[in-house]
A and B are shown apart, each in its own frame.
Chain A
Amino acid sequence: MTENNSHEPADDAVVDTDGGTVTGAAQHHRDTDYLNREVNLLKPSTPFMRDHLKLVWGSFAVWVLATWGPVVATFLAPSTMTSLTILGFPAHYFMVALFAPTSSLVLAAIYARRRDKLDEKYGINTTAPTGTASGSGEKAATDGGVNE
């Protein structure tokens, strides 16, 4: 399937390769056959999926509040929202035009960062080009291409 160590039978050897950083989570990851575990948005079937979905749903909830909160607040309490000022703006205008879109950007960065951490926790190396379809011969070509 891929070129990582998931098919190594000897556990000790695996630990050594990673410099002793293999955690319980990473071990779980190695033991999981993802192609035989159901994908379910509401009922994660693997530890990785559980952690990932926690992150997905958690940040999605914050997104819902940040994106829709300001406009709903403006609808519910128009006089308060329009009379307050933030940085010279009427509060409702500031919250919708600047705060809401910017919060999506911040959330996106936080999500991507946390997702990277998740890969780390499970001992997944995303930087090395892997896979059988692109052989190792092409790896050298990549660097040559970038440097040129």
Chain B
Amino acid sequence: MPLPLQAEALDISFKPTGAVIVFLMMASFLAIGYLFRVADTEGMWVAGRGIGFIENGMAIAANWMSAASYLGLAGLIALAGFYGLAFVIGWTTGYFVLLIFLAAQMRRFGKYTAPDFVGDRFNSPTARAIAAFTTLLIAYVYSVGQASGMGLVGQYVFGLDFVPMVIVMMAITVGYLALSGMLGATKGMAVQYVILIVAFLVGVFAVGWYHQGMVLPQIQYGAMISDLGNQFSEPFVNAPFYVWIATAFSLIFGTCGLPHVLVRFYTVENERTARWSTVSGLFFIMLLYWSAPAMAALGVDLFAADAGISASQVFAGAEAGGMSGAEGDVIVVLAAQLAQLPQWLVGFVAAGAMAAAIATTAGLFITASSAVAHDIYTELINPDATQRQQVLLGRATIVGIGALVTLTALDPPALIGELVALAFSLAAIVLFPMFFLGLWWENTNRQGALSGMTVGLVVWIAAVVNDLIMPFSELYGELVPAIGAALVGTPLVFAVTIIVSLATSDPPEHIKKMVRQCHSPEPMGQQQTAEDVVSTDGGQTPADD
């Protein structure tokens, strides 16, 4: 893929207003983090318990809204038409599955990270290490999408070329991480959500109004669809039915397996709040997902008008004067620009995108560093690791993964949304079956989990290698496309885990009790984990298996 080029219309130059808005936004996140940090040291439990379902829903949504939602989604719908809607379905409806099967039970289990859950539930350091490795891979793949988004939007605000822009933005991210990591700004996420959604919605409403006089573009864009050419709406022209289903399936179950999503459920006061915050979180997410297709439709229309081509020519490819992948990826900002919105308003929309990308990347890097320093190094390689060594290794991980992400993002192998979707298919294949079976089938044992996760990793890596790096089998590529690998992979991992668990001995009694405790309707303490309850409530002495 050639280096991303921008449309003439996206005026690439340094914009003082835009830059100021970006820095104000980042600074406000840091300030909020600082303020809440004070509250935290005064009484950690108080703050911890004060998080209600509205606020936690906003935090879930803020965590969720990365460059992939903010930029990538509209880009996919603009470029891939009906296939793009698979991403709308995949990134929203999965929350329902998460709600009925996992949210409250995870809250009751009461651990902190995905590797923690896997390691404790299956009583195995190796399982923990595989989960940590998977978490690391997810963070890496996910971040590449964010970095590429930052680079593209950064061009509009700071006016550098794509390559130096990615480097500068990643440097800013690591710097931001150093600051926000010290502040531990979890509570600021609600505010972050409000800023992001306002930036996005203001963009959609303003573009709809300026361009077409629309009052509610989320509904009114429907009337434009017939004018946008077949490719925008005709089903299954850009991707066959199977790929559509596979993609949506991967995204839905990936949602249920993403480590940084599940973590949000531990911060709430009880499992009822966990349930209701899933509901409110989904609502807050929907505000953007109702709007992104409208932005895509408006963007395609504006692009065609600006380039003086018919709407269907937009899809003819960049060589034929149509929209390029990079242009699609910034369609949200591009549309604002093409609709002749005032420059500060476009800058505000762009700043929202960068804030989304930077905040998400920072979160992912922290997850990755703890996976390496805590779950892999300390638990597996050197149990006697000192705090100092762990912190050092954590920092080294951030720098290392930052460099790796930057390098990969310089020449991104796919669209932002597609890159992020790879992380989802990985989570859906390797982690979701462990969460689901771990919580719902008490006889899932260590051997089952280990073989299941190994098979899952192999399926996913093979799919990615085949799709993006070195194609080796057409048939495999058709059945297991990297982006939708979970449709085949997840059931396979379920089967392997169940068969191996049945063939080997049952897990020890205290593990089974832990699972039962996750489903008991009996209220439990704020700070208790299922493990605590089991060990204090006459649970048998932990057996050594």
Binding site for B on A (CB under 8 A): 1-2, 4, 6, 29, 34-41, 48-49, 52, 56, 59-60, 63, 67-68, 71, 74-75, 78, 81-82, 86-90, 92-94, 96-98, 100-102, 104-105, 107-109, 111-112, 115-116, 118-119, 122, 124-134, 138, 141-142, 144-146
Residue of B nearest to A134 (CB): B526
Residues of A within 8 A of B236 (CB): 74-75, 78
B502 within 8 A of A: no
Residue of A nearest to B274 (CB): A112
| Contact A34 B519, beta carbon cutoff 8 Å | yes
Counting chain B residues whose Cβ lies within 8 A of the other chain, the interface size class is: 35 or more
Shortest beta-carbon distance, A112 to chain B, in Å?
A: 5
Within 8 A of A (CB), among B155-186: none
A to B CB contacts below 8 Å, 14 in the list: A4-B522, A4-B523, A37-B516, A39-B519, A40-B442, A75-B235, A89-B225, A97-B85, A101-B92, A101-B286, A108-B279, A112-B279, A122-B521, A142-B46
Residues of A within 8 A of B527 (CB): 131, 133-134
Within 8 A of A (CB), among B524-542: 524-528, 532-534, 536-537, 539
Within 8 A of A (CB), among B74-112: 82, 85-86, 88-89, 92-93, 95-97, 99-101
Residue of B nearest to A58 (CB): B100
Q: Given known contacts A96-B82, A131-B524, A131-B528, is B290 in contact with A115 (CB within 8 Å)?
A: no
Residues of B within 8 A of A6 (CB): 522
Residues of B within 8 A of A34 (CB): 516-517, 519-522
Of B46, B282, B518, B521, which one neighbours A104 at CB under 8 angstroms?
B282
Residues of A within 8 A of B512 (CB): 38
Residues of B within 8 A of A87 (CB): 219, 222
B271 within 8 A of A: yes
Bound CA span A98–B221, Å = 12
| Contact A88 B82, beta carbon cutoff 8 Å | no
Residue of B nearest to A127 (CB): B272
Residue of B nearest to A110 (CB): B279
Bound CA span A36–B540, Å = 12
Q: Given known contacts A101-B289, A138-B45, is B50 in contact with A124 (CB within 8 Å)?
A: no
Shortest beta-carbon distance, A3 to chain B, in Å?
A: 9
Bound CA span A8–B49, Å = 29
Of B97, B276, B282, which one neighbours A105 at CB under 8 angstroms?
B282
Residues of A within 8 A of B522 (CB): 1-2, 4, 6, 34, 124
Q: Mark B273-289, 1 if CB is under 8 A from A, else 0.
A: 00110110011001001
| Contact B235 A74, beta carbon cutoff 8 Å | yes
Bound CA span A29–B523, Å = 12
Bound CA span A108–B512, Å = 29
Bound CA span A60–B275, Å = 15
Shortest beta-carbon distance, B107 to chain A, in Å?
A: 11
| Contact A92 B235, beta carbon cutoff 8 Å | yes
Bound CA span A39–B244, Å = 35
Q: Given known contacts A90-B233, A141-B46, is B93 in contact with A104 (CB within 8 Å)?
A: yes
Q: Given known contacts A34-B520, A119-B272, is B99 in contact with A112 (CB within 8 Å)?
A: yes
Nearest 9 A/B pairs, CB to CB: A131-B525, A145-B46, A89-B222, A34-B520, A88-B223, A88-B222, A101-B92, A104-B93, A126-B272
| Contact B516 A35, beta carbon cutoff 8 Å | yes
Residues of A within 8 A of B235 (CB): 71, 74-75, 78, 81-82, 92
| Contact A38 B50, beta carbon cutoff 8 Å | no
| Contact B226 A90, beta carbon cutoff 8 Å | yes
Of A59, A93, A125, A134, which one neighbours B45 at CB under 8 angstroms?
A134
Residues of B within 8 A of A131 (CB): 523-528
Extra contacts, 18 of them, besides A2-B523, A56-B100, A81-B235 (Cβ < 8 A), are: A1-B522, A1-B537, A6-B522, A34-B522, A35-B517, A39-B515, A88-B219, A93-B82, A101-B286, A104-B93, A108-B96, A108-B99, A115-B275, A119-B272, A125-B523, A130-B523, A132-B536, A138-B46
| Contact B525 A63, beta carbon cutoff 8 Å | no
| Contact A133 B526, beta carbon cutoff 8 Å | yes
B513 within 8 A of A: yes
Residues of A within 8 A of B290 (CB): 98, 101-102
Bound CA span A70–B433, Å = 26
B43 within 8 A of A: yes
Of A38, A89, A126, which one neighbours B516 at CB under 8 angstroms?
A38
Residues of B within 8 A of A60 (CB): 97, 100
Q: Given known contacts A35-B517, A88-B222, A100-B89, is B533 in contact with A1 (CB within 8 Å)?
A: yes
Bound CA span A56–B532, Å = 27
Shortest beta-carbon distance, B478 to chain A, in Å?
A: 17
Residues of A within 8 A of B252 (CB): 67
Residues of A within 8 A of B97 (CB): 60, 63
| Contact A142 B442, beta carbon cutoff 8 Å | no
Residues of A within 8 A of B101 (CB): 56
Bound CA span A146–B82, Å = 46
| Contact A129 B49, beta carbon cutoff 8 Å | yes
Residues of B within 8 A of A115 (CB): 275
Within 8 A of A (CB), among B3-61: 39, 43, 45-47, 49-50
| Contact A130 B525, beta carbon cutoff 8 Å | yes
Bound CA span A89–B457, Å = 41
Bound CA span A142–B293, Å = 43
Residue of A nearest to B292 (CB): A97
Shortest beta-carbon distance, A6 to chain B, in Å?
A: 7
Q: Given known contacts A89-B225, A96-B89, A101-B88, is B524 in contact with A2 (CB within 8 Å)?
A: yes
Q: Given known contacts A38-B442, A82-B235, A96-B89, is B45 in contact with A141 (CB within 8 Å)?
A: yes
Of B93, B99, B293, which one neighbours A67 at CB under 8 angstroms?
B93
Residue of B nearest to A146 (CB): B50
| Contact B516 A39, beta carbon cutoff 8 Å | yes
Q: Given known contacts A108-B282, A146-B50, is B528 in contact with A133 (CB within 8 Å)?
A: yes
B474 within 8 A of A: no
Shortest beta-carbon distance, B51 to chain A, in Å?
A: 10
Bound CA span A133–B360, Å = 33
Within 8 A of A (CB), among B487-520: 512-513, 515-520
Bound CA span A90–B86, Å = 16
| Contact A126 B523, beta carbon cutoff 8 Å | yes
B241 within 8 A of A: yes
B133 within 8 A of A: no
